[in-house]
Structure 1
Amino acid sequence: MPVIVLEARDFTSPLFLVRTWEVLSSCTTFSLVASLEPSELNQNSSHLQHLNTFRCFCMFNWCFFFTLTLLIHILNVIQFHSLIPLSWKNLTMTVAVLGALMCLSASVVFSWLVMDHQGVTPRSVTAVVVSCLAFLAYTTESYILRTQAHEQRGYMGSMPGLLKILQLWGSCLMIPLVVEMLFGLREVQFQQLLVSCVSYGICVLMSLVTVVVILGDFAGQCLLPFDRFLAGFSLIGVLFYMMATVICFTKILQLQKIIFTEQAKLVIMETVVASITLLAYTVDLAFSVKLLCDRSHL
C-alpha cells in the first residue's frame, strides 16, 4: 500500500500547526524539568517523597502526551490513521481535551507543590510557562475539533463525551493523591483512606472501560444496551464521589484544629478535584436518564 502524504497546503492548516505547537511545547517542558540540576532540587527537604511523587506525575503527563500527540501527528501526515483499529475522530478529541486538562493540572501541581520545595529557578519558571502554552495548544485543538461537523467529531465531541473525559481526568488526578496519602501522610484516618482508595480505584476502572469501549467501537458488543451501561456507570460514579467529597470536607474541618501545611494543600486539591468530578458524573447521569426516558417513549 503506497504511503499517502498530505498536500503542501495541509501543512499550513490550523490543525497541523496546533499539533506541531503541542509537540514542541510538551517536549520543551519535560526537557527543561529533566535538565534541572541536583542542586536545584532541595535534596535536604524533609518532604522529598512528597516532591518526587508529584514531580513524577508532572513528568509522566508531559512525556505521555508528547509521545501520543507525536504519533497522532505522524499518522495524520502519512494518512495511516485509517489502518488503526480505533475510532480516529474520538481518539483525537479525547487526546486533545484530556491533554489540555492534564497539562493545566501539571502546571498547577508543579508550580504549587513541587516548586514550593525545590525553589524558584529560571528553568522551572520557564517549564511552567511552556506547560501553560501546551495547555493553550491542546485547548485550541479541542476547539477546532469541536467546531467540526457532528459526524466528524464523533461521540467524544458531544457534551456526554466531554463529561466522560472530565471524569477520566478527575480519576487520573486522584492517583498521585492516593499514593501520597498511602506513603506520605500518616494523619489520614485508615477508614477514610480505605473508602477513598476503593472509590477512586473503581471510578478509574469505570472511566478506562468507558473510554476503551467508545474508542474501539465496542458499544454494539456489550451485553447490556450501551446507554444503560453508561447510565449504570454514571450512577455508581455519583455514589462513590459523593462519599469521597463528604470525606474531603470532613478532612477540611479537621484541618481547622490541626495546622499541617502539606496536608492542607493535598486536602484542598483532593476536595476541588472530587467536587468537579462529582459534578461531571451528576450531569452525565442526568443526560443518561434523559436519553433512556426519550427512548422509552418512542
Structure 2
Amino acid sequence: MSLASPDHIPRLAPGDVTRVRSVDELRVYLDGQASGTPLHVSLCLTGCPVIRSVMDDLVRCLAHHVVYLSLDLSHCGLGDWGCPHVAHLLTRDRVSLYALDLSHNEAITSEGVAQICSVLGRSRLAHLAMSSLRFNSEAVSALSAALSGLASLRHLDFSFSSLPRDGLTTLLKGVAPVRVEHLLIPGISCAASSGTGDACEILGLLCGMASLTTLVAGGCGLGRETAGYVSGLSGIGHLDLSNNPIADATVLALTDSLCAPGQARHGMGMGMSMSMHQTQGALQYNPMPQT
C-alpha cells in the first residue's frame, strides 16, 4: 500500500517508514530499537501464506514497542481464525494500526468481519482495503454501522467485492457521515440488479460526501440516471466512471461542468482527471489543470 500519513500521526518522509516483508524481519528490527521510541513500520505480507503461528508471532513481537503500523495481509489465505489477531492489533494501546489491507482473502466470512467490526470504532484506522471479498447482508450491515463511527477513516477500497442486493447502499449510508477522501468501488453493481431507484440513491449518497476527492466507480452499472447528479460528481478531483453505460449527454454535461470558468475554486485544480468509456465507442477526458 502506498499511503499518506493519517491525521493522528506526524507527516512522514518516505525514509521515515521502515518497510519489512516478514514477521521475522520485523522482530529483528524491533529488537534493535528502544522500547519507548515511536516507530513507523510498514509490514507487507501480501502473497505470503499466513498461518495462525505467524499471526501469534506478530502480536507477540509488537507487545513492547510503540508502533504506527501499516499492515498488508492481502492474498495471504487469511480466514476467520486470523480476525481476532487483527482485532487485537486494532485496539492495542501501544500499536496504532492506521492502514489495513485484507483484500483477496476469500476465506474471511461474516463471522470474521463481525469480529473486526466489533472493535473498529475504537481504532484509529485511516486506510481500509477489503477488495475482492464476499459479504452477506449481516456483514454489510455490521460494516456500515462500524464505519459510521470511524472518524479517522480517509481511504476505503471495496473494489470488485461481492455485495448482496442493496449492499452498496447500506455500506455508503455508513460511510456518508465520515470524512472519507478516497473511495474505490469499481465492479460493484449499483443498478443492474437493484434497479434505477437504488442507483439514484447511491449517486445521491456519493454526491453528499463533501470530503471526497477520489471516486473510482467503473463498471458499476451507472446509466442515464447519472445525468441528474452531474453538479455533485464534478466536484470530485479524480473521477473514474469507466465501463458504465452513461449517455453521451451526461458525458458532455460532466465535461462542461469540469471546464466551467472558476471550477478550480471548487476543488478541481491541479491533478484533476476524469476517465470514461462508453459501451459504444469510447470517450476519455483528461482536462488540463487551470492556470
| TM-score interval, normalised by the smaller of the two chains | under 0.3
- TM-score, normalising length: structure 2: 0.22
Comparing both structures, which one devotes a greater share of its residues to helix? Answer: 1
Comparing both structures, which one devotes a greater share of its residues to strand? Answer: 2
